[in-house]
Structure 1
Amino acid sequence: MDNTHRPSASSGLAGPSGLAGATGPSGPPAAASTKPRVQSRCFALLTDFGLDDPYVGQLKGVLHRLAPAVPVIDISHGVPPHRVETAAFFLAASHPHFPPGAIFICVVDPGVGTPRGLVSMETGGQVMLAPDNGLLHLAAEARPDAVLRRLDPARLPEAQSATFHGRDVLAPLAARLAGGESLAAFGDPVLPTDLSRPAWAVPRREAEGVHAAVLHVDRFGNVVLNLSLREWDRLGACRLHLPDGTLIDIARAATYADIPSGRTWLVAGSQGYLELAADKASAADRHWLKPGMQVLLEDCR
């Protein structure tokens, strides 16, 4: 991650807009105001809980009990269990579409109950809460101005369970932030290098080529790599080394429909990352690719 991040004091989310009683005047629309736009409160949830168990409902129940006027938006609860890299991709791809004032509660936490710690990120008026396992890395990498904090357990809501910090710690904390409290009261700023950075978080350019990790396989079988368009959009034709030892030649396509039948090529995905894709077929099934796997792109042009 770029070390241009710098810790700084931040007031967090300013004011309790979006809570009960925040209504506008009746009558015709007023003339445009020069006052700063009030931040729009919402909670955004991202978990690997699925929908078969009561965990999502309990998380939402705590939020509704503590901040009943703040809407709750589900980004996804279908992250594959324990796949932190997929959650990191979902967060990085989704948060730019939310307004200032959004509070993201991200719970893909295979280390819950261990000393792994909880962290936060503030950028553009938004707040993101997550375990310190790399989940915030991709979002923070794209935001050099982000303020990262390590949350102090002594200042956080007390957990009722050692295995459900999303419900017992992060949800009550999010409600307090929505009510106007500052993140500065719950943790101190840190540098990106102070936080967890798993191997999948950063592509490696070495003499033999570019080592990339699979972040996600979508329902169409498109394979999202950890190659952001922000940094890697110039990649074109390459030789692709797959985990099973197979070597294939790939090129760039503007759309999925431009990929020749039976071939796998690179596409600039709508979520801001390069994808391995096939037209009307699953590139993941064709090449046995899953999140967490590594591929090598060599002789890229």
Structure 2
Amino acid sequence: MQPIVLLTDFGLSDPYVGQMKAVLHTLVPDAPVLDLSHGVPPHGVMQAAFFLAASARYYPAGTLFVAVVDPGVGTGRPLLYAESAGRFFLAPDNGLLTCVLEQDARIFRLESTAQQTAFACVRCASLKPATEQYHADAHPMQTVPPSATFHGRDIFAPLAAMLRRGPATGLPAHPVRPEDITTPDWNRARGSSSRLEATVMHVDRFGNLLLNASAEQWLPVVDAWQKRTGSAAGVVMRHENHPPVMLHVVETYALLPHLTDSVPARVTVSDRVTVSNRVTASNGVTVSAGSPAGLLASSQGYLEIACNCRPASQVLGLRTGSNIILTPAENSHA
């Protein structure tokens, strides 16, 4: 049986993750249950969407992802069950799936009601158990009403068990188009051949800034800027009312200048950005010694802004949800 993968904002200091796993183990004891992350910030739908989109391809085809970052728990918000690129997803309809679903995804909308839970448990009970020790009638959720504040345990887990043990035929749901589900503004970067508008979707533990811009789509655009303006020019980042900041375009963190006492922790440049005080990095690429931040393709498939051994979030004053604009820089004649 293919795995069930959990993604939540529950953390590990409370019993919530363990209770979800208890329900899954009771209903589908033969299904491996893996953890993608339970460290999503509370109510961090955007970060959860990033985690899911960046990670899904590393799991085998047939994997069922159960994503529970659900600020609307207990309300009439619907649930989504989707299939995309050979993998399956169960999540609230709050934008969490918009980054991971491909255009040809099959999407179904479910209503999050107590009847769904009862249906899931009855459906599980009607299936042949995977082991002799499996007794569906022993599951407490058949007699205890579901909590209005913990759908992860009481609705998502039994639905996931039902979906894992058999086909979704008979599931009370109706198909919807990708454009009909909740789609926040941050789901994709937007831009043109001379401008990229992006959002910081996640700040990792190193302070690196992960953008909502696909590296596969946007790195060729940035490379074209480099060819047009010169390899030393980098790109210019603008954020709200802050002065523009130069970003070097590099392949890895170690090619960026080290922040030392001679380099300020926060670096800004004038509106007409030029590169001066240039040095040559170890790979032969000429960069500016005066700016510590860089733009690169992250390991997660998205563009990333980082510094060398320093948190770019602090150096640049950016956080999750910050909106930025990237444009080509002027070439240097210094």
TM category (shorter chain) comes to 0.7 to 0.9
Query: Match for 2:179 among 179, 183, 193?
Result: 193
8 A contact 2:236–2:328 mirrored in 1 = yes
Structure 2: which 5+ runs fail to align?
119-144, 224-233, 260-291
1:251 has 2:212 as partner = no
1:80 has 2:41 as partner = yes
Gap change, CA 1:192 and 1:170, over 3 Å in 2: same
Query: Match for 1:231 among 195, 217, 235?
Result: 217
Distance, in Å, in 2 between the alignment partners of 1:177 and 1:232 is 37
- The answer to which of 291-300 and 171-180 deviates more is 291-300
| Structure 1 residue aligned with 2:106 | 147
Distance, in Å, in 1 between the alignment partners of 2:161 and 2:59 is 18
- The answer to which of 110-119 and 276-285 deviates more is 110-119
Residue 81 of structure 2: SS of its match in structure 1?
strand
Distance, in Å, in 1 between the alignment partners of 2:206 and 2:107 is 34
Q: How does 1:1-301 map to 2 (within 5 A)?
A: 18=1, 41-140=2-101, 143-153=102-112, 156-158=116-118, 160-182=146-168, 185-205=171-191, 209-234=195-220, 235-236=222-223, 237-243=234-240, 245-262=242-259, 263-299=292-328
Distance, in Å, in 1 between the alignment partners of 2:93 and 2:308 is 37
Distance, in Å, in 1 between the alignment partners of 2:62 and 2:300 is 22
Residue 156 of structure 1: SS of its match in structure 2?
helix
Residue 35 of structure 2: SS of its match in structure 1?
strand
Q: Deviations over 1:195-243 (max 9, x none)?
A: 1111211223279832211111111111000001232122243210124
Gap change, CA 1:300 and 1:139, over 3 Å in 2: farther
8 A contact 1:83–1:291 mirrored in 2 = no
How far did residue 300 of structure 1 move? 6.4
2:53 aligned partner, one-letter code: A
1:90 aligned partner, one-letter code: F
Distance, in Å, in 1 between the alignment partners of 2:56 and 2:193 is 35
How far did residue 55 of structure 1 move? 0.7
CA RMSD of aligned residues (A): 2.0
Q: Deviations over 1:24-49 (max 9, x none)?
A: xxxxxxxxxxxxxxxxx111000111
Gap change, CA 1:168 and 1:260, over 3 Å in 2: same
How far did residue 68 of structure 1 move? 0.7
Structure 1: which 5+ runs fail to align?
1-17, 19-40
Structure number with larger C-alpha Rg: 2
Gap change, CA 1:71 and 1:79, over 3 Å in 2: same
Number of aligned positions between the proteins: 260
How far did residue 124 of structure 1 move? 3.3
8 A contact 1:177–1:183 mirrored in 2 = no
Identity, % of aligned pairs? 45
Q: TM-score, normalised by structure 1?
A: 0.81
Distance, in Å, in 2 between the alignment partners of 1:45 and 1:94 is 12
8 A contact 1:209–1:300 mirrored in 2 = no
Residue 58 of structure 1: SS of its match in structure 2?
helix
1:94 aligned partner, one-letter code: S
Q: TM-score, normalised by structure 2?
A: 0.73
- The answer to which of 108-117 and 165-174 deviates more is 108-117
Q: Deviations over 1:33-85 (max 9, x none)?
A: xxxxxxxx111000111011111111111101100111111000001111111
